[in-house]
């Protein structure tokens, strides 16, 4: 199995997931910690906004709806994503946005 590492700050949690896994799988790997706060899981609530510090290309390309919603939230510049819309294709380091 090809595992990829996701590092989640500020908690410093490291999770290994199979390549191509949705980031929502984090909930099942470390259920008590909840390092990423997921809400709707459909990209419409903004609870899971993350800033990608390393490995932006490892999370797949955002679709236009995700980009529009991030813009509505004031998260422009291309380093923010909705974790529920990402699939881990390579190692990445993200920080949970705390000021939403």
Q: CA-CA distance, 65 to 5, in Å (whole number)?
A: 27
Q: CA-CA distance, 4 to 6, in Å (whole number)?
A: 7
Dump pLDDT digits (tens) for 52-70. 999 999 999 999 999 999 9
41 vs 76, residue with greater confidence = 41
Dump pLDDT digits (tens) for 77-93. 899 999 999 999 999 99
Q: Concatenated DSSP letters for 24-50?
A: GGHHHHSTTT--S--SSSSSSS-TTEE
């Amino acid at each position: 199995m090809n595992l990829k590492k996701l590092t989640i700050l500020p908690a410093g949690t490291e999770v290994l997931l199979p390549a191509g896994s949705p980031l929502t799988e984090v909930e099942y790997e470390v259920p008590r910690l909840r390092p990423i706060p997921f809400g709707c899981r459909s990209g419409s609530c903004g609870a899971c906004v993350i800033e990608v510090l390393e490995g932006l290309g490892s999370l797949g390309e955002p679709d236009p709806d995700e980009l529009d919603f991030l813009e509505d939230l004031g998260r422009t510049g291309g380093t923010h994503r909705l974790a529920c819309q990402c699939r881990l294709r390579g190692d990445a380091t993200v920080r949970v946005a705390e000021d939403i």
